[in-house]
Amino acid sequence: MRHQAEPGGRNWLDVIGEDELLLELIDWPTTFPKVWGSLGWHIALYHSHYIVTPPLPKHFEKRRLGWHQDSGRINLDIESDPRPRISVKVGFCITDTSTEDRGNFHVIPGSHLTNQLVLQDDENKEHPDVIPVRVSAGDAVMFDRRIWHASGLNFSDVTRRVLFFGYSYR
């Protein structure tokens, strides 16, 4: 399943070849050791994308976030419960999301251990355990592809920008 950014936003896939500066981030000294610490040394960059989420119009109706686990097709093809850890992602935050209204990355702690996410019937209510990740510009967030996550709604006056690198076993 291909996830789109909010209206007016963009989700550029396969951006690694767009600028030589991006290549430096593949093995960045503060993030890459954590990646190989999680997956081991026999890994590869399999995915990159850049998400730009501009502010939403003031009249935009608030709704439930688009919860998902990454690697959609693999989740259907590999029949296990819970799903295996196949990859991790690192999100390099270009803009500040230290307040909760900037389209923050949201997670549900412990949800990587379940293949199904149970949500309330009310489509305007979020999962009770949701946490908006609040980080500053220049910070990086590493996460297991299995964790249920979503981009938040951007009601600020700042365009959210984040660069994601996905690493997996070779």
Q: What is the mean pLDDT of residues 66-91?
A: 91
* Least confident span in 17-21, 40-44, 121-125, 148-152: 121-125
Q: What is the mean pLDDT of residues 138-144?
A: 97
- Burial of 21 by CB count in 10 Å (0-12 exposed, 13-18 middle, 19+ buried)? exposed
The pLDDT value recorded for residue 1 is 30
Residue 2 or 128, more confident: 128
Domain membership flag for residue 134: yes
Domain membership flag for residue 1: no
| Torsions phi, psi for 34 (to 5 deg) | -70, -35
- pTM: predicted TM-score of the whole model, two decimal places: 0.90
131 contacts 108 by C-beta, under 8 angstroms: yes
The pLDDT value recorded for residue 84 is 92
**Structure tokens that stand for 15 in this block:** 């951006």
Q: What is the mean pLDDT of residues 32-57?
A: 96
d(CA 165, CA 95): 16
The pLDDT value recorded for residue 2 is 40
Domain membership flag for residue 4: no
DSSP per-residue string spanning 81-150: SSPP--EEEEEEE-S-B-STTB--EEE-TTGGG-SS----SSTTPPPTT-EE--B-TT-EEEEETTS-EE
Mean pLDDT of the chain: 91
Domain membership flag for residue 53: yes
CATH number of residue 20's parent domain: 2.60.120.620
The pLDDT value recorded for residue 37 is 96
User: Number of folded domains in the chain?
Assistant: 1
Domain membership flag for residue 108: yes
Q: Where residue 9 falls among pLDDT bands split at 50, 70, 90? A: confident
Q: Which domain holds residue 32?
A: 10-169
d(CA 68, CA 24): 29
Q: What is the mean pLDDT of residues 52-77?
A: 90
pLDDT tens digits for range 83-115: 999 999 999 999 999 999 999 999 999 999 999
Domain membership flag for residue 148: yes
pLDDT tens digits for range 12-38: 999 999 999 999 999 999 999 999 999
Domain membership flag for residue 3: no
